[in-house]
């Protein structure tokens, strides 16, 4: 087990490394980003194997997860010079003959704590922002995806000086030890309850936090859509990684008059994607552990199963499942599902769907399928969520220029692209005065006094 001495030792070495100023150099940051890119390329096989061992993650989904990191690296390398450039600001008239600039400064030594569901992406994409902004980083991957945690540790150790980037593996105790250090930023991805613990620990050191949390992301379907594409996109977003995706559509709110047609198409696409027996499909992942398997099995008791429902504890398998006839009182509608279960609710008027969504805590993502621009605008205007994807699910995450994060109970702070760079930087306002002129109006004795 990792000891407090070891945590403090690595932390202090990183403090010294940061103080030496090496990370301030933009060329150094670019070189490190390229080293990370190279390390992922070289170790693709190891990563795929580890994700398979932890989640039975299909090779393509593992590849997709890595692609997310690689495209963030490319985007950062391409844009880092413009992001780091000091920004000239106009000055008011009374600051005549001066100039003002905003500098983007690194924060220092940062801590990144990750979850188990996309253990590579959710550990390394924040790291891209931290490197680009010029920080030293300690990574704490989830102990639950233990194979991937070891691979991350191995890759980072082979690639970086631990005084610059280090991985500390472990569970809750290790996390707690790390949280007692005085980091300059903590970037946490995980559940809401643990997010609260992280935030209160961070408060002891006045450390700013980014909390990337979860919640129930709604998927609303209007009656004017291409049913085939809608069904395909929902099935993909919901059942990839066996539903263990923070932005997966949690529940479906479908307009009553197309419900039957949409559900039949969803059923057809589940069969097309995963076959008659999804347990034999090489494209379908498994539940991470017994605890989550039992939790999800309980949720299958709600409503009426429209498709799926099969489980196998030995294989940690839960079939892609759609549940009809659920109500908000059911357990499946009271907690984040985070598994391959899609409850279905219906609405008659769009305003009903909007009201239902607004009665829940603000979600991480909101999906709306409709070709009606007015309805699209209405949903955007009258709801709140971390992000939105119209006429698709999950794909908004793949656009590096779109800031990603939650709002309210789904978290706060943003990353991906420049938003990640900004999260790991602070803005330093600098006013630079001239000696050519020095107006006396601000110096005592003040004008008012002179009058008396
Ligand atoms: P979790 O909160 O249980 O664990 C996340 C991390 O926190 C792990 O590294 C774990 O070791 C650590 N941890 C656990 N208990 C701790 C404690 N008491 N003190 C300090 N650290 C502790 O989350 P999880 O089960 O790994 O992931 C699932 C949750 O994460 C879901 O709610 C999901 O929605 C959310 N999530 C959010 C995003 C996002 O981008 N917003 C992405 C993925 C997952």
Predicted pLDDT of residue 307:
98
Torsion sign over Cα 356, 358, 362, 365? positive
Residue from 136, 219, 246, 389 carrying the catalytic annotation? 246
> What integer is the mean pLDDT of 405-417?
97
For the domain bounded by 218-398, which CATH number is listed? 3.40.309.10
Confidence of residue 94 (pLDDT cuts 50, 70, 90): confident
Residue from 37, 61, 212, 336 carrying the catalytic annotation? 212
Per the annotation, the verdict on 246 as an active-site residue is yes
H helical segments located in 117-240: 121-132, 146-159, 172-179, 192-204, 227-239
Percentage, residues of the chain above pLDDT 90: 95
Confidence check: pLDDT of 228 > 70: yes
Predicted pLDDT of residue 444:
93
Task: Find the farthest-apart pair of alpha carbons in the chain and give their distance in angstroms, rounded.
Answer: 94
Whole-number Å distance, alpha carbon 186 to ligand 1 midpoint, is 13
A 10 A CB-CB count for 384 gives 15
Q: For residue range 338-357, list pLDDT tens digits in order.
A: 999 999 999 999 999 999 99
Residue 308 Cα distances to 166, 275, 313, angstroms: 43, 12, 15
Strand partners, 238: none
φ and ψ of 104, to 5 deg: -100, 110
Strand, helix or coil for residue 445: coil
Predicted pLDDT of residue 133:
98
Predicted pLDDT of residue 3:
64
- Residue 194 Cβ inside 6 Å of ligand 1? The answer reads yes
DSSP symbol at 291: H
Whole-number Å distance, alpha carbon 316 to ligand 1 midpoint, is 20
CA 415/CA 63 separation, integer angstroms: 21
- Residue 416 Cβ inside 6 Å of ligand 1? The answer reads no
DSSP symbol at 339: S
Whole-number Å distance, alpha carbon 173 to ligand 1 midpoint, is 14
**Mean residue pLDDT across the chain:** 96
Predicted pLDDT of residue 447:
77
Predicted pLDDT of residue 441:
84
Confidence check: pLDDT of 449 > 90: no
Whole-number Å distance, alpha carbon 63 to ligand 1 midpoint, is 22
Strand partners, 325: none
- Residue 338 Cβ inside 6 Å of ligand 1? The answer reads yes
Confidence check: pLDDT of 450 > 70: no
Q: How far is the first Cα of the chain from the last one, in angstroms, to the nearest whole number?
A: 75
Residue nearest to atom 30 of ligand 1 (CA): 190
Least confident of 32-41, 91-100, 298-307, 309-318: 91-100
CB 235 within 8 A of CB 341: no
For the domain bounded by 4-213+407-432, which CATH number is listed? 3.40.605.10
Per the annotation, the verdict on 212 as an active-site residue is yes
- Residue 189 Cβ inside 6 Å of ligand 1? The answer reads yes
- Residue 190 Cβ inside 6 Å of ligand 1? The answer reads yes
| Domain coordinates in residue numbering, the chain | 4-213+407-432, 218-398
- Residue 113 Cβ inside 6 Å of ligand 1? The answer reads yes
CA 123/CA 73 separation, integer angstroms: 13
Confidence of residue 2 (pLDDT cuts 50, 70, 90): low
Predicted pLDDT of residue 451:
52
- Residue 335 Cβ inside 6 Å of ligand 1? The answer reads no
Predicted pLDDT of residue 357:
98
Whole-number Å distance, alpha carbon 213 to ligand 1 midpoint, is 8
Predicted pLDDT of residue 49:
98
């Amino acid at each position: 087990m990792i000891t407090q001495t070891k945590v403090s030792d690595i932390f202090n070495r990183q403090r010294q490394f940061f103080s030496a100023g090496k990370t301030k150099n933009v060329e150094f940051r670019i070189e490190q980003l390229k080293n990370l890119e190279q390390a992922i390329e070289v170790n693709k096989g190891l990563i795929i194997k580890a994700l398979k061992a932890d989640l039975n993650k299909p090779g393509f989904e593992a590849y997709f997860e890595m692609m997310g990191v690689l495209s963030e690296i490319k985007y950062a390398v391409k844009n880092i010079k413009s992001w780091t450039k000091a920004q000239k600001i106009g000055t008011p008239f009374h600051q005549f003959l001066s100039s003002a600039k905003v500098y983007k400064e690194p924060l220092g030594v940062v801590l990144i704590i990750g979850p188990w569901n996309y253990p590579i992406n959710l550990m390394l994409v924040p790291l891209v922002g931290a490197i680009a902004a010029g920080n030293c980083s300690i990574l704490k991957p989830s102990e639950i995806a233990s194979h991937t945690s070891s691979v991350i540790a191995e890759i980072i150790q082979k690639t970086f000086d631990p005084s610059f980037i280090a991985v500390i593996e472990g569970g809750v105790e290790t996390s707690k030890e790390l949280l007692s250090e005085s980091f300059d930023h903590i970037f946490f991805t995980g559940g809401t309850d643990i997010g609260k613990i992280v935030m209160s620990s961070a408060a002891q050191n006045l450390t700013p936090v980014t909390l990337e949390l979860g919640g129930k992301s709604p998927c609303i379907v209007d009656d004017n859509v291409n049913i085939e594409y809608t069904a395909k996109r929902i099935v993909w977003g919901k059942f990839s990684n066996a539903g263990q995706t923070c932005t997966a559509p949690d529940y479906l709110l479908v307009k009553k008059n197309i419900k039957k047609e949409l559900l039949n198409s969803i059923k057809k696409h589940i069969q097309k994607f995963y076959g008659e027996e999804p347990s034999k499909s090489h494209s379908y992942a498994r539940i991470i552990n017994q605890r989550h398997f039992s939790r999800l099995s309980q949720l299958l008791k709600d409503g009426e199963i429209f498709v799926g429902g099969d489980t196998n504890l030995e294989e940690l398998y839960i079939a892609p499942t759609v549940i009809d006839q659920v109500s908000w009182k059911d357990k499946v509608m009271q907690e984040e599902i985070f598994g391959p279960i899609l409850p279905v609710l219906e609405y008659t008027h769009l305003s009903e769907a909007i009201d239902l969504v607004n009665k829940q805590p603000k979600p991480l993502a909101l999906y709306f399928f409709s070709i009606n621009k007015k309805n699209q605008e209405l949903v955007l205007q009258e709801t709140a969520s971390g992000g939105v994807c119209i006429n698709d699910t999950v794909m908004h995450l793949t656009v590096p220029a779109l800031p990603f994060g939650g709002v309210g109970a789904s978290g706060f702070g943003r990353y991906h692209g420049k938003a990640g760079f900004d999260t790991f930087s602070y803005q330093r306002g600098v006013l630079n005065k001239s000696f050519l002129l020095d107006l006396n109006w601000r110096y005592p004795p003040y004008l008012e006094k002179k009058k008396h």
